[in-house]
Amino acid sequence: MPTVTLDLDALVKDGRLSDAEAERLRAMALPSRAVGQLVQVFAILGALGLAAGVIMLDPSATLGLLLALGALGFAAFVQVRGKDDLAILGTGMAIAGTMGLAGWFGLKFGEIWPAVLVNGVGTLITLASALFFRSRFLVAFVPLGLAAMIGSGTAYWHASYAIFISEALVTVLLFGALSLALFAAAPRLQAVHSGLSVIAGRVSWLVMNFGFWVGSLWGDHVGDHFAEVWSGRDSSWEEMEAWRQTALFIPDWVFIIGWASVSIATIVALRHNRFAVNASITFLAINAYTQFFEHFGDSPFALLVGGASLLAFAWGLFHLDKRMHAAGRGF
C-alpha cells in the first residue's frame, strides 16, 4: 500500500481540516521508527568493525569465508521470515556478506584462475545476492563486474581517482545494448525486479558513456585487451605495437561524433525521463569540455570563442525549451 504524508497543521490553517479531525489522524499515525533504524545502523557498523578486528587478529581466508556466510545466513533469515524491524540490519549484512564472499573467492583463486573467470564468478555471486535480497545497491555492481571482465575498472591513490577502459568500442556497443534491453524489460517485470532492472540499466548506460569518453581521447584498437589476454602473458611494448599495426583502429573523431549524437538523441527521444535527460546533458557537456581543451587548449582566443559559443548555445536552448513548453512538449 502507498504511504501518504499529510501536513496536518497546514491543512488546519487552510481550513481544509478541523482541529478534531487533525487530532484523530495524529492518534492513528504509526509510531516513529527512527530509534529502531538508528540501532540497526549502529549494529551494522559494530558488526563490520568486529569482523574487521577478528580478521586483523587472525588474517585467514577461511575465517573471512565463515564470517561472510554467517552474514548472508542472517540476512537470509531476515528476508525469509519477513522481519521488517530488522530490515536495515539485514540489508547491511547482505551487502557485507556478498562482498566478503566475492572477496574470498578472488583471494582464493585470483592467482590460479584467469582474471576474467574470477571477475565472472564474483559478478554471478553479486547478481544472485541482488536478486535474492532484492538489493538495488548490489545490482548496481553487476554491470561494473561485467565491465571488469573486458578490462575496465577504477583506481585510486592519494587525492586522485582514475577510470580506465581497455576496449572502448566493445564497451560502447555491449553496455549500450545491455542498457536498452534492461530498460525495455523493466515495465514487463514485477515491481521489485523492475526497479532492479532500471538501476542496472542506468549503471550500464553510464559505463557506455565512459567508453565513449575514453574513445574520444585516444580512439580504439579493437581487441587490444583481448589480444594480450589470449596471449597468456604480458606482451612487451614492441609486441603490442606490432600487433596494433594490423589491428582495426577506430579514430577518436568517431567516438566524439557518436557520443554527441547519442546524447542529443537521448535528450530528444526521452525528454520526459528526468534521469536520461539530466545524464545526457551532463555527458554532452563533458564531451564538449573535453574536446575543447583537448584540441584548443586554454589560449585567450580559444576561451573567448568557447565562451561566446556556450552563451549562444544556452540562449538557443532556452528559447527552444520555452517554445516546446508553450506547445505542451517541454523538456
Q: pLDDT below 70 — which residues of the chain?
A: 1-4, 29-59, 228-237, 297-298, 320, 324-331
Tell me the CA end-to-end span of the chain in Å, nearest whole number: 31
Alpha-carbon distance of 129 to 123, in angstroms, equals: 10
Answer yes or no: are the C-beta atoms of 215 and 169 closer than 8 Å.
yes
As a residue count, the chain comes to 331
- Looking at residue 209, its pLDDT comes to 96
Is residue 58 left, alpha or beta, with left meaning phi > 0 and alpha meaning psi from -120 to 50?
beta
The dihedral through the CA atoms of 174, 177, 183, 187 has a sign that is: negative
Instruction: Work out whether the CA dihedral 140, 142, 145, 149 comes out positive or negative.
Output: negative
CA 91 to chain centre: 18
Q: Are 178 and 221 in contact (CB under 8 A)?
A: no
The x, y and z cell numbers of residue 180, run together, are: 536498452
* DSSP of 259-312: HHHHHHHHHHHTTT-HHHHHHHHHHHHHHHHHHHHHHHTT-HHHHHHHHHHHHH
Buried b / exposed e along 57-68 (16+ C-beta atoms within 10 A): eeeeeeebbebb
Mind listing the pLDDT tens digit for each residue in 113-167? 888 888 999 999 999 999 999 888 889 999 999 999 998 988 888 878 888 898 9
User: What ranges do the domains of the chain cover?
Assistant: 31-138, 140-297
Q: Which amino acid is at 99?
A: M
**Percentage above 90 pLDDT, the chain:** 27
